[in-house]
Structures are given as structure tokens and as C-alpha cells.
Structure 1
């Protein structure tokens, strides 16, 4: 049973005032210290109970809907001039489409693509079982650089032109910034000597320079400064949370896709829940991308293969 939904304190059955989001525990005001002391090795986030408050929702204007021809879509990345790349967990093909849904280009990855990131002259991508960053440009696939014995998962770029990668090796995980030649610029793995990440996937840099990662192992969104200082961990709003693709808007707030709950979480730059975002016929959104040349416009891909063009 999900303790976040309980009306009584986990320890003394008094009225719930607070909740610990990572532990999913309901607490009264007197038992917060007891809980923290009993589980001192865990990073806690104690918040006021949301009981009785209405869930805030905001409707997005849906401009168009396209069919990708894929199922189990996992990522979308806008390039420019109305062009974008998409990939699926169940197909080796990565497609380049326009906003009318016409296929402009496509190529076949070696294995299953995980994430894509459009660049001005091509697309970066990661593949399951390939420990390298791949790059497609003008009909050619390039092995950009190796990641050693680490599996790259999420990929993105920074304003400075560096490459962001979430990496996993056995039970270890980290966020690394690379130069375009594969040199390590920075590496973030621990917070107070404890592992910061468990199974990090999608990653984005906000206009403020914050680095935000969706971690499916921790069921949370983890945001840090470029030097690794933790800004926040967001564990969802009241219910279970399965974060996947995410992006940042012009105000440095974040939009996070939560497909298993059929939700888009809109959270502030300091990790506070703002509202749920919705659009007509929303069905399990998996990833989201800014339309860079149209402010407040986004592309959202869904598990079923549809891509929606929306405006906030």
C-alpha cells in the first residue's frame, strides 16, 4: 500500500501533517525526527501534506498530431526549420520528419536506439549494448567516441556545445559532460559520498545551466548545478511517478513525461510542483522536445507512436 495516501501517521496514527517523498511515509509533526533518525542513511525530502488540495491542471493547445509509424516511441528531438528526429525501442530505424509528418531521411542503427539529440548538421544518439556515442551526418554513421565500459543512456548538448551523457555500469551510474572529441569536462556521481543516481536516463540543461536528469531507478528527477551541487530531487506529486523524457522551458522550469500515469509534470526550477499539463487525447507521453525556433511550442511523442505539436 502506498503510504503517501494514508491519513494517519506511520508511527503513532496521529493526523498527517508531513510526508517523506522518497520513503513514501506519512508523518505527524512529532514523528518527523523519529523517521529521519531511524533511516539516517537515506536522503529525505519532508514536505507538507497535500491532502485536501486540488490538483492543478493546465491545458495545452494541440496544434497538430502526426503518426510516426513506430510503436513504443522513446525519444523526439527538434532540430530546426520544422525538422526533428524520432526513435523507438522496438525498431532500429531512426527517422527525420517534418512538421507535416513527411519522412525526410532515415537510417538504421546497429542495435536498439535509446535516445536522440538533434544537432545543426546531424543527430547524436545512443544504442543499447553500444558503449559509444554515435553521430549521423549526411548519410554517414560515425563512432564519435567510446565510453569505455560504461553504457550511455541519455544524450543531450549544452549551450557551450559539450555533450551530456547519463552512464551506467553494473550498479554504478553517473552524469558526465564531454567535449565533442570525447574528453571528460566534468563528472557527477555522488552527493555527500552517497550515489546520486541509480538508473539515469534523459538529461537536459536549463537556460540557467542546471542539469536535470530523470532517474527511473529512483523514480525521481534529480537536478544539479554544473559543479555537482544538488538543487532538488522531485519524487512526483502525491502518487507514483515514472519519469522519462524531459525538457526545460524559457523560464528554466521543467516538463517531465510520466507515461505510466499518463501525465506531464510541470515543475519549477527549484523542484516545486506547479501543475499537470494536459492536451486533448493525451495517451502515455514518453518524451518531449522544445521547438527551438517557436517559443512555448513543444513536440511530445507517445508510446503508441503519435507525435503531438502543442503550445503552452
Structure 2
């Protein structure tokens, strides 16, 4: 029989306490009358599950382990366990907060439902997306590697044709030499043979005279021996030796073409924020007119390229064309000065996440760490010269470097002294960066892109964290007195890219996709080194004046 029709039992709505119940919300474990169902469903923040009361799911209470005949319909908040009525009133739980287990169940059910919602709508779809991406990449793998094999075969055929042509030419040259050699010897033979025939005749005549004892013939004989004592010219032809060069496999590899090594970057899995924690980062719009808020005298000579790196919003490290690196405050007071280990000029500096200073020493091919005013060499390069350096959010080091012969440039990522990544070529095997010892300042953006100001190429080159080219920015097509010559570069909390353009006395601001946003002028004279502090103040080192300027632009 329907419980609602039992005369002896009157079941009322849990909300209004007056009307007969009709429905049950399984999500909230609450009984509702027809009027209160609408009120209950008005709370859209919860996904309610209202069903007719007779179709509700029955609750399975656990049996008390100490009192076999009782069900655990209460909950001890302190012990965090279900308890029966007897246990709840016993000395074991004296002074503890005891609540109705249905209330606890409702909270737990809501928590479980939130977990399920997040799994279904946010987490699992991301796993599906990742699995789909992997399948797509696997599907394309055969095609892409077949293309590489085809290119290798084509290059091999080209080299085979060239080698065959060279071999055939050598054979032709050898045959021509042989024919010439033989012709020379035949000509020599043609000169000797008649003389030999003549000599044979003379020798035969002499024998006849001697045998005849003829006085007349003997007395009239005229000797020709002196004539034949001068031998005909003897032709000597030396067979040439083939000077075969030892095959240089490295040069042969270079002729064949370059195949960059397979780079596998296993990134740490992204940690998704919970639904409650998901929010956009605070937006800081660009100021219409950036403001100069401080000017600091670095103490370096004018017309000196300088690097800057923020230790805090009040302290900035800087270096110029001498062996001393300086830590200055906003009033220009010298807080600390440190000389390089070798006495060479540092090429660039960067502050690590721990607040230590890193500098590059091209003369010694080293990267050096200054910790507690003590200098230690962390990396020594072979065959490469370090140029510029930056410290990343993961506390890695990114270093631009050039080969000793100035024919190659690349960006290398280090974790401590361990090389983790090398970025040098695009997908077509073409160099990403210009060669030579020119400045190549770099910065990691907040989206983990790697941004390099390649002044020789007149471009800002941006690759993603895997080293794949995203874009190149070659300046804004507005009126420009001088060509775009980017040097210093930095990025801020909004993923803006800022690069110094000293020949045009301004700074370019780009968004993370390389779209030009605006310039910063602020009466700058040859801006060079750039950095931003933790609250997005911009510090600019001027080449012309050797001063450092602090600018608010957000």
C-alpha cells in the first residue's frame, strides 16, 4: 500500500511542515510538497534530483558495531564516524557534537555530486582531448616520417648523380692521359726503328767486307760509328698517381643535409584548478600615456650597452662595459658591487627565483652564479660562446649562444648544469636565429613562450616551450626613421612582450601573439636593457646616457 494512504501515518513536507509530501529530492535528501518543489528548485546553484516520493531511493543505514540491533542514524563530528543513539548518549562520545546523519549525508552527497560534475564536465573531457591529440599525432606520424625518408632518398639520388658524374669525368681524364702517353711512346718508337734497320744493314756490310778480304772494299770503308754513338732522345713518361682524399664523414653529412635530433619534451601535466578556483588573472590595461617615475644614475660611462634585472621593486642589478656588476636602489645608491671572477666584462645578467645573480662570461665561455657574494661557475661551454641569459618560472636557465666560427646560433635550456633543451632550427631545418656575436636578449613569457630579440635579423623571434616557431615580429609598419633593431626584451604578468628599439628611441609593446599594441616613448634616449619587477614596473637602461629609468605603463 502507498505510505501516503496509510491513515495512521501522516508524512509532511520537510520545508513547510504543514502540507502532505508529494516528492523527494535525492540530491538534498529532503521531502517536499507540491508547493515547495518549485521553491526548492529555484536554487539553481545545485543540480537537484526531485522524484515522486514513492520512487525515492531508500537509505541503507549501517549497523552499529557495538549494538547489533541499532542503526547508525547519527554522526559524531569529532570522531568523524556514524554512531547509533546509544553510542551518541554514551560517555565515549560525551561532549562531542552529534548531528543527524541525514544532514551529513546531504553535505557529503553534495560534495560527491560536485566531484562527479567536475569529472564529467571538466576533467574527463580534457583527458579525452589529450587522447584524441595523441591519436591524431600517431595518425600523422607515418606520413610525416615518410616525407623525411623521401627527402633523404632524393638527397641521396642527387649526391649519387654528382658522384657518378665526378667518377665518369675522372675515368675520361685517365683515358685521355693513357692515349697521350701511348702516342708519345709510339712516336719515340718511330724514331728508333729506322735507325735500328740502318744499323743492321751497316753491320751486315761490315761482316761481308771482313769475310771477302777485298783490299779495295777495306781501304774505301768509311766508319759511321760516331754518327750512331749519339742515341735518339729517350722519352720518359711518368704514370700519374691518384691522390685520393680521405672521406670526411662530417663534411659528407653536412653535404647530405641536416636532420635535427628528435626532441621529446615530457611536460609536467597541467594541474587543473578546481571549479571554485577558476578565475581570470587580474587585468591591467595599458595606460594611454606611460609615466616616468624615477631616473637612476648607474655610474657607468655613456654610450654603454647595459643589462638590467630586477631583484625587487626597489632594487635592480645592472652591468655595463666593465667587470663590475652593481645592485642599486631607486635613489641610485650602490647597495652591492661584485667583480667578475675572470676580470672580463659580463655580457648579460639575470636574477634567479632564489634571488641569486647569474652572469655570462663570453671570454671564458662560462655561466656563473653569485650566491652570498661568492662566485661559482655552473656551466662551461665547448665550441660555443654564451651571449645572453634569463631565468625562467621553473628556475631553469635559457641561454643564447653562438658557435666559435660564428656560423650557428641557438637557445639552450639548462636545469642547474644539465642541458635539457636545444632550440636552433624551424620545422624545415632552417636556422631560427642569425649567426654572429650580436646581442640576442631573451625572456620567457608567462605562457611559457621563449622570446628572443635578434637585432642582427631585425626581428623578435618567438617559439613555444617545445621550441616550435610561433611568429616573428619585424617592427610596426608605421613611419620609422631608422630600421627596427631590437635589443633588450622582457615580458610582464599580462603576457605582453616589450622590446627596446634604440635607433628609434622607443619601446614596442606586443601581445602574446605578436600583435603590435603601442609604443613607449617617455623621452627615452637609445633604450637598451629591459626588465619588469613583480608589480609590472618597467626598468629601462639607456645606452646614450647610461641612466636607468623606471616607467609605469599599466
Q: Could you tell me the TM-score, scaled by structure 2's length?
A: 0.44
| Structure 1 counterpart SS, 2:347 | strand
CA gap 1:173/1:58 in 2 versus in 1, 3 angstroms: farther
User: Alignment partner for residue 324 of structure 2, among 93, 104, 108?
Assistant: 93
- Contact 1:59-1:278 within 8 A present in 2 as well: no
How far is 1:81 from its partner? 5.6
How far is 1:93 from its partner? 0.8
Extract structure 1 runs of 4+ deviating beyond 4 A: none
How far is 1:287 from its partner? 1.4
How far is 1:139 from its partner? 2.2
How far is 1:131 from its partner? 0.7
| Structure 1 counterpart SS, 2:442 | strand
| Structure 2 counterpart SS, 1:148 | coil
Q: How many residues are paired up?
A: 251
Q: Does 1:126 align with 2:366?
A: no
User: Alignment partner for residue 409 of structure 2, among 173, 178, 193?
Assistant: 173
- Contact 2:323-2:346 within 8 A present in 1 as well: yes
CA–CA distance in structure 2, aligned partners of residues 228 and 139 of structure 1? 34
Q: Does 1:201 align with 2:440?
A: yes
User: Alignment partner for residue 62 of structure 1, among 292, 296, 300?
Assistant: 292
- Contact 1:84-1:118 within 8 A present in 2 as well: no
Match of 1:288 in 2: 530
CA–CA distance in structure 2, aligned partners of residues 118 and 195 of structure 1? 29
**CA RMSD between the two structures:** 1.5
| Structure 2 counterpart SS, 1:242 | coil
How far is 1:60 from its partner? 1.3
Cα offsets for 1:27-59 (capped at 9, x unmatched): xxxxxxxxxxxxxxxxxxxxxxxxxxxxxx953
User: Alignment partner for residue 258 of structure 1, among 495, 501, 504?
Assistant: 501
Runs of at least 5 residues in structure 2 that lack an aligned partner in the other structure: 1-286
CA–CA distance in structure 1, aligned partners of residues 448 and 538 of structure 2? 20
Q: Does 1:111 align with 2:344?
A: yes
Match of 1:17 in 2: none
CA–CA distance in structure 1, aligned partners of residues 338 and 288 of structure 2? 37
- Contact 2:456-2:485 within 8 A present in 1 as well: no
| Structure 2 counterpart SS, 1:130 | coil
How far is 1:215 from its partner? 0.7
Q: How do 1:235-254 residues align onto structure 2 when only pairs under 5 Å count?
A: 235-238=474-477, 239=480, 240-254=483-497
CA–CA distance in structure 1, aligned partners of residues 468 and 441 of structure 2? 19
Cα offsets for 1:236-277 (capped at 9, x unmatched): 123411111111121211110011221101112111211111
CA–CA distance in structure 2, aligned partners of residues 84 and 147 of structure 1? 28
| Structure 2 counterpart SS, 1:195 | coil
Cα offsets for 1:95-145 (capped at 9, x unmatched): 011122110111112211111101334210112322110111222111111
Match of 1:23 in 2: none
Match of 1:219 in 2: 458
Q: Does 1:270 align with 2:513?
A: yes
- Contact 1:58-1:278 within 8 A present in 2 as well: no
CA–CA distance in structure 2, aligned partners of residues 285 and 307 of structure 1? 9
- Contact 1:96-1:106 within 8 A present in 2 as well: yes
CA–CA distance in structure 1, aligned partners of residues 385 and 357 of structure 2? 19
Higher-helix-fraction structure: 2
- Contact 1:244-1:258 within 8 A present in 2 as well: yes
How far is 1:166 from its partner? 0.4
- Contact 1:73-1:86 within 8 A present in 2 as well: no
Higher-strand-fraction structure: 1
| Structure 2 counterpart SS, 1:226 | coil
| Structure 1 counterpart SS, 2:503 | helix
| Structure 2 counterpart SS, 1:145 | strand
Runs of at least 5 residues in structure 1 that lack an aligned partner in the other structure: 1-56
